[in-house]
Chains A and B, each alone.
Chain A
């Protein structure tokens, strides 16, 4: 399967711990996005990369969150000092942008539960 993959699929952690999620985009996709989805809601944009450059961050992305895409391929999203409000599904998407045309393909998500 050559779709977007995310690991782990589920993560349970205690409040105050740090967690890191990984996303592997579709090969040769130059853009990578992170979204957060809470129960009963649609995904909300967090941040995106074009190649290795992080070009935009949502105001939802507090300073406890950091994302990297060091070689322009896979990306990691780290949450420091987790809070119960961080419990959500974290979705990664990738796209091959050609001018204005762009379609984002999503991975299966990482479900985070903070106890």
Chain B
């Protein structure tokens, strides 16, 4: 079955790097996504990675994928106060259309 797990909270100092972790269980997952949600708002797509990739970098964001351990991480370099939000990991098996989300990680950036 599909299950996506994330740690609930992460606090970092402004300027440090943040690493948000996610594990998934569906071995057929082909696409993995990171979304950001600010209070009272919808989800903003940050980045995504296909399962035939190990890493993807996009400006301050770096996604690492360990297929053997079914582990996905999102690293935010030079974290700013505007990065404070809930970050969701989501998987989509290649045969499915819908996304399965984790419960989200609340990132708090301290000044």
Taking Cβ atoms with an 8 Å cutoff, the residues of A that contact B are 4, 6, 31, 33, 35, 40-45, 48, 55-56, 58, 91, 93, 97, 100, 102-109, 111
Docked CA distance A56–B95 (Å): 13
Taking Cβ atoms with an 8 Å cutoff, the residues of B that contact A are 4, 30-31, 33, 35, 40-45, 48, 88, 90, 92, 94, 97-104
A16 to chain B, nearest CB (A): 27
- Point out the residue from B4, B44, B99 that lies within 8 Å of A45, measured CB to CB: B99
A-B contact pairs, 13 of them (CB 8 A): A4-B42, A33-B98, A43-B88, A45-B98, A58-B98, A97-B97, A102-B31, A102-B92, A103-B45, A106-B35, A106-B43, A106-B44, A111-B40
User: Are A100 and B94 in contact, CB atoms less than 8 angstroms apart?
Assistant: yes
Docked CA distance A106–B31 (Å): 17
Docked CA distance A55–B97 (Å): 10
Docked CA distance A41–B8 (Å): 10
- Point out the residue from A44, A100, A109 that lies within 8 Å of B41, measured CB to CB: A109
User: Are B48 and A103 in contact, CB atoms less than 8 angstroms apart?
Assistant: yes
User: Are A91 and B103 in contact, CB atoms less than 8 angstroms apart?
Assistant: no
User: Are B97 and A56 in contact, CB atoms less than 8 angstroms apart?
Assistant: yes
Docked CA distance A105–B46 (Å): 10
In the complex, which residues of chain A have a beta carbon less than 8 angstroms from the beta carbon of B90? 42
* Centre residue among A31, A102, A105, A106 by max chain B CB count within 10 A: A106
Docked CA distance A41–B40 (Å): 13
User: Are B42 and A42 in contact, CB atoms less than 8 angstroms apart?
Assistant: no
Docked CA distance A56–B94 (Å): 16
User: Are B30 and A100 in contact, CB atoms less than 8 angstroms apart?
Assistant: yes
B85 to chain A, nearest CB (A): 14
User: Are A107 and B42 in contact, CB atoms less than 8 angstroms apart?
Assistant: yes
Docked CA distance A107–B42 (Å): 6
User: Are A48 and B42 in contact, CB atoms less than 8 angstroms apart?
Assistant: no
Docked CA distance A104–B101 (Å): 13
Docked CA distance A6–B100 (Å): 22
Docked CA distance A41–B101 (Å): 9
Residue of B nearest to A108 (CB): B42
Q: Assuming A42-B88, A100-B30, is B97 touching A31 (CB within 8 A)?
A: yes
